[in-house]
Amino acid sequence: MDIKLNKKNGVPLYIQVKKQIKDLIVSGNLMEGHKMPTERELSSKLNVSRNTVSSAYKELELEGVLKSLQGKGTFVAERNKIWQAKEVKDKIFKLLDLAFEEAIESGIDSDNFINLINNHIHEKIEKMNKTTAVYVECNVEQSRMFSRQLSEATKLNVVPVTINDLKNMEGRTKKVLESSQIIVATFNHVHEVARLTSNYKKEILGVAINADLGTIVKIARYPDNTRFALFCISEEFMFKIQQALDEAGLGNIKIKYTNTFDNEEVIKVMDECDVILVSPGRYNDIQDVNVNKKDIIKFIYNLDDGSVKALKSKIVDLNVSM
């Protein structure tokens, strides 16, 4: 398998691996059913960390390009996943053709058929707009951030909640859960959230998250000896960023992590760094004390587009009580 990585162009290594695997599938060099090298084998061949290959494989699995079979390995799934958008349109057109033929045979003319479709879609959209979802994450920053992103993407009313909120289960959290129709959580938290909310009998849906590629590229473009400082609110967010940098092949950069709000300590850490990284929740207060006008980069995570699309589809199919 011919994969060539450029470790100097600023593009995260796992993104390069992912893209080149997709290119090999599109070109026909990797056919459906082809068994992929193990993460260990490919990381050894490419001289990268196993996390780099693991991240590329996981994203390709989420997109349906690769498929992992327990005890057997990872395989190329359907090649047509690469051209899924076109096939989805073709499939929709075929379904519409069948529905239109059925309508005509039943005596429904074209104008009434269009009205039926419009009314049905409007009902579905109205139902989604009235649906309240709870978004659960391990830390308050990401819970708020992903709640906003999910609300913008789906038009749902999304309320942020943390794992600790569920563990403590105080009055406000109970009220939010009782008034919601669905619960959304990142995939790694779904089982824990299901356990903590089992008494509420709510549908729980999972989504994937990705570190923003633009953020990773900005960091990668700085020289190797650059000193970074990261300011965030929660330790959990701190660990997520460490993991994201490791997976992008940037685990060796010099970086000081802190969640202090003490101004003297903040200024001391800033004086010892060249570039400032901040979680979205810390941007304003760090900017206020950045008297030396050092570069500030927001470290942003995003909900995975494919996961959000799948989530919207599931919500449309749910028979939630309003």
**Residue 153: predicted pLDDT:** 85
Determine the average pLDDT of the residues in 268-285. Answer: 92
Q: Would you give the DSSP letter of residue 272?
A: T
pLDDT digits (tens, 9 = 90+) for 65-113: 888 877 788 888 755 444 555 566 777 888 888 888 888 988 998 899 8
Q: Answer yes or no: are the C-beta atoms of 129 and 176 closer than 8 Å.
A: no
| pLDDT tens, residue by residue, 198-236 | 999 888 988 888 888 888 888 888 988 899 999 988 777
Q: How confident is the model at residue 288 (pLDDT cuts 50, 70, 90)?
A: very high
Q: What is the pLDDT of residue 195?
A: 92
Cα separation, 209 vs 207, in Å, equals: 7
pLDDT bracket for residue 264 (50, 70, 90): very high
**β-bridge pairing 295-298 and 275-278:** parallel
Q: Give the Å distances, CA to CA, from 28 to 1, 46, 64, 67, 83.
A: 12, 21, 17, 17, 13
Q: Are 303 and 142 in contact (CB under 8 A)?
A: no
Distances (CA, A) of 255 to 8, 36, 236, 278: 19, 35, 16, 12
Fill in the amino acid letter for 57: Y
Reduced to 3 states (helix: H, G, I; strand: E, B; else coil), residue 120 is helix
